[in-house]
Amino acid sequence: MVHVNAIEQACRRFGDHVALERQASAHTCAAYRRDLDRFCDYLKVEQITDLRDITPQIVESYLAACRTGADGRHSLAASSSARMLSSVRSFLAFSVDEGLIADNPAARVHRPKQDRRLPKALSLDDVNRLLAASSGEGAIDIRNRALLELLYGTGARISEAVALAVDDVDVHATQPIVRLMGKGRKERIVPLGTYACQALEHYLVRVRPDLAARGEGTPALFLNTRGRALSRQSAWGILRKVADAAGISQAVSPHTLRHSFATHMLEGGADVRVVQELLGHASVVTTQIYTQVTIQMLREVYATTHPRARG
């Protein structure tokens, strides 16, 4: 029988709290579980089995081990280390609320410094090539085109797209919309453009009924060839395959389409607060990084085209 120490028991209680009381998504619950499993393994090696023995120095040492891989796991980038600290902070804050410890030692630990990298958006030409590469008339091509048109046309996260049910999309309304469930289970309504609407209607009429007949009646909008809900991993694979077929050399992920959506909206003159609402960002500060993308592009164009931009 595997012995479970007090810290591991507290982690399990925290996992139940996140799933049941916070009603976090399965993806978020799994991420917390992975982060805290690694934290617990590190504490075991350090022979720490009591929550009260966790100090800010222990948390800092753990983050350093994560960054270098000194704990025997893969090394983490600064952004992933920051997420790891956030997970540990949340768990220890829960432990304070439960009366297991007096204060949160991770609250006094500084977040790892991160390079502020601008998101890489596709050019409009590359987006058009990408979508054209999924324009076949086979059932899977039609499904893939609907998925990609929705991702680029709405700026949806991949987790939001694969979580959609058929009833979340209204392609027949005077003003077609999609209801997306974002982080913190916050719902937002996003308009569907003509191309996304047509691609979805084509998929819903011609393809989805046949795919659904192979499964067990899931309400999911996007289905795989077995009639089950399309997974995030499968959606990633679809995009990589289509990007290769389109001959796009840049690395393309579902988030690339989200970046492209926001960048192209701002380049077209959209107000940053409108883009914030469409993306489901809690703060406009998060959205403002895309304004830097457009400014950077303007600088590059200016530098390469104005006769007196460079000496």
Q: List the catalytic residue out of 42, 152, 203, 290.
A: 290
Q: CA-CA distance, 25 to 285, in Å (whole number)? A: 24
Secondary structure element (H or E) that encloses residue 177, with its range: strand 177-181
Q: Which of 38, 143, 145, 157 is catalytic?
A: 157
Measured CA angle at 220 (ends 219, 224), to 5 deg: 125
3 is known as an active-site residue: no
Residue by residue, DSSP assigns 94-127 as HHHHTTSSSS-GGGGSPPPP---PPP-PPPHHHH
**255 catalytic per annotation:** yes
120 backbone dihedrals φ, ψ, rounded to 5°: -95, 110
Nearest of 213, 188, 204, 194 to residue 281 by alpha carbon: 188
CB-CB contact of 148 with 242 (8 Å): yes
Which of 13, 120, 183, 228 is an active site residue?
183
Closest CA to 182 of 19, 16, 22, 24: 24
Q: How far apart are the first and last CA of the chain?
A: 74
Neighbours of 251 (CB within 10 A): 9
**12 is an active site residue:** no
Q: Which of 145, 208, 258, 259 is catalytic?
A: 258
Catalytic residue, from 255, 273, 299, 302: name it. 255
CA distances from 289 to 47, 116, 183, 263, 272 (A): 43, 9, 19, 10, 10
Q: How far is it, in rounded angstroms, from Cα 256 to Cα 247?
A: 16
Residue 38 a catalytic site member: no
Q: Which of 143, 145, 259, 281 is catalytic?
A: 281
Query: CA nearest 211: which of 222, 227, 200?
Result: 227
CA atoms within 13 A of residue 107's CA, in its CB half-sphere: 11
Active site residues: 157, 183, 255, 258, 281, 290
